[in-house]
Copies of this chain bind each other. A is one copy, B any other.
Amino acid sequence: MDPQSMGRGWPPLPLFLPFGGGGDTVKPAMDRMPVDGAAVPAGPPVEDPSTPFRLSQEARSLNRSLMRRLIAVTARPEIISFAGGLPAPELLPVEELSVCLARVLADDGPRALQYGPPLPALQEEIAAMMAGRGAGVSPEQVFITSGCQQGLQIAAHLLLDPDSAVVLDRFIFPGVRQAFGGWWRELREVPTDVTLGLDLEMLAAALTGPPRPRALVVVPAFHNPLGTTLAPAARQTVVELAGAAGVPIVEDDPYSGLQFAGPVPVPLVGLAPGQTLYLGSFSKLVAPALRLGWIIAPVALEEKLRVIKESFDLETSGLVQRAAAAFLRAGYLEPHLARVRVAYGQRLRCMTAALARHFPPGTRWSEPAGGMFLWVELPEGLDTLALLAPAIEAGVAYIPGAAFTGAGPTSAMRLNFSNATPESIETGVRILGGMLREQHSGATNRGG
């Protein structure tokens, strides 16, 4: 097959939803909203004589992801949200972090509030964590970031020119498209299977097709949005294909640690450290508000990673770095993760049981062994984008599959199972299922 054609040839995406802003001018119309910015072509520059602000091509083409926009909607307490990627609030380690912050300020005083280099104690703790995941790395290979999204941006700035090609999943977290897309870049999409993950045959074609891609982005564990995990053999194949093609791997791995059904296979960076940038994060493992993550990279790249990060935000908070190091050193992480794993496993089982009871016949879903996300494919003919507004009206939010692809509308949706309680999960799935069954039988009747 011709890899150039992958991800093309789909019908055009309905670009606008009935809520939210976006748009090409400095006065965005608040009644329309692009689903995925990277897929929206830039309009012509709009010259508004009432303002000197002329927007860059990037600013005109970049639009807020539906997912981020839904965070505000779903913060409303009357909404049952399966939309965001939010940890269970009841399990956030408030007490432990409070103790760590107080201790760090008492012990380190002004040093904890000052500018400073990356914290060696944290680099060491993260290297030890990585060893536990099967990747032996030195503390010098640990580069501190302000979270995984910043890791994606740093990787993109490190590796991509304005016209580079990037290989990535057809369905992927929109932040990946925001960071790696834009300019004249080619986002070369590889199909994914709901149970196996990346289609390895298509991956081989995408990696070798001209022009040579400058990066392969992989989410091997508890994929967002699919929930899939690449098996050990598939991981070996991915690194071999990428190595043979001379394409560096960007391994986005914010969910490892959240496994509830057996161990996570060794990460790609453990299999091929010389060809992988690994991105980790404490957002899902400890707390989003830490805004703390890391990159594992060959030491030779540290200097360039550092200057790119400096140009973004100078450095990551030394106070937060110290608090996280104290949290890890105190041994708070493992008991916390143990609680989280049990809870998330229960919530997923609750959700799939409810799906089986309430969703239309013919619905399929992935089988996550960890993480936060379940991918649900509805029977053909149900457009999850069109159904979102009535669903929110009915009190339940999810993310339509179209938010994760530049390729076209889908009958799929992403359901988060970490944030809502088991009771709310049952209620929310029941409400959604009732709505979908009604739509489905309506569609079938009209069709028949």
Give the B-binding residues of A (Cβ under 8 A): 21-23, 26-28, 37, 50-59, 62-65, 68, 71-72, 75, 84-87, 89-90, 92-94, 97-98, 101-102, 105-106, 109-117, 146-147, 149-150, 153, 157-162, 164, 175, 178-179, 183, 214, 242-243, 246-248, 274-275, 283, 287-291, 298, 300-301, 303-304, 306-308, 310-320
Check B92–A114 contact: CB distance below 8 A: yes
Check B71–A117 contact: CB distance below 8 A: yes
Check A147–B109 contact: CB distance below 8 A: no
The 4 closest A-B CB pairs, nearest first, are A113-B287, A178-B311, A89-B110, A289-B319
Check B56–A275 contact: CB distance below 8 A: no
Taking CB atoms, residues of chain B closer than 8 Å to A246 are 52
> Which of the residues B22, B90, B319 comes within 8 Å of A303, measured between beta carbons?
B22
Check A291–B146 contact: CB distance below 8 A: yes
> Which of the residues B57, B75, B274, B300 comes within 8 Å of A161, measured between beta carbons?
B57
Oligomeric state, in copies: 2
Check A312–B153 contact: CB distance below 8 A: yes
Query: How long is the Cα–Cα vector from A386 to B20 in the complex, in angstroms?
Result: 56
Taking CB atoms, residues of chain B closer than 8 Å to A85 are 115
Known: A89-B111, A300-B28. A179 touches B311 (CB 8 A): yes
Taking CB atoms, residues of chain B closer than 8 Å to A50 are 274
Q: In whole Å, how far is A116's beta carbon from the nearest beta carbon of chain B?
A: 7
Check A56–B161 contact: CB distance below 8 A: yes
Taking CB atoms, residues of chain B closer than 8 Å to A55 are 158-159, 304
> Which of the residues B160, B274, B289, B317 comes within 8 Å of A318, measured between beta carbons?
B289
> Which of the residues B84, B214, B315 comes within 8 Å of A54, measured between beta carbons?
B214
Taking CB atoms, residues of chain B closer than 8 Å to A93 are 113
> Which of the residues B56, B98, B275, B288 comes within 8 Å of A106, measured between beta carbons?
B98
Check A105–B97 contact: CB distance below 8 A: yes
Check A317–B290 contact: CB distance below 8 A: yes
Query: How long is the Cα–Cα vector from A290 to B318 in the complex, in angstroms?
Result: 8
Query: How long is the Cα–Cα vector from A429 to B300 in the complex, in angstroms?
Result: 38
Query: How long is the Cα–Cα vector from A314 to B298 in the complex, in angstroms?
Result: 26
Query: How long is the Cα–Cα vector from A283 to B116 in the complex, in angstroms?
Result: 13
Taking CB atoms, residues of chain B closer than 8 Å to A214 are 54, 56
| New A-B pairs, 15, CB < 8 Å, besides A26-B300, A313-B313, A320-B320 | A53-B298, A55-B159, A87-B114, A101-B101, A101-B102, A101-B105, A102-B102, A112-B289, A113-B289, A175-B314, A178-B307, A289-B317, A289-B319, A291-B291, A291-B314
Taking CB atoms, residues of chain B closer than 8 Å to A90 are 110
Closest to A29 in B: B303
Taking CB atoms, residues of chain B closer than 8 Å to A52 are 242-243, 246-248, 275
Known: A59-B304, A110-B90. A317 touches B320 (CB 8 A): yes
Closest to A316 in B: B291
Q: In whole Å, how far is A382's beta carbon from the nearest beta carbon of chain B?
A: 29
Known: A26-B300, A114-B92, A248-B53. A291 touches B317 (CB 8 A): yes
Closest to A304 in B: B59
Query: How long is the Cα–Cα vector from A158 to B57 in the complex, in angstroms?
Result: 9
Q: Can you list 24 A-B contacts (CB < 8 A)?
A: A22-B307, A26-B300, A27-B300, A37-B307, A53-B275, A56-B158, A62-B307, A64-B306, A64-B310, A68-B310, A71-B116, A71-B117, A84-B115, A89-B114, A98-B106, A101-B102, A101-B105, A146-B313, A149-B312, A153-B312, A178-B310, A289-B319, A291-B313, A291-B315
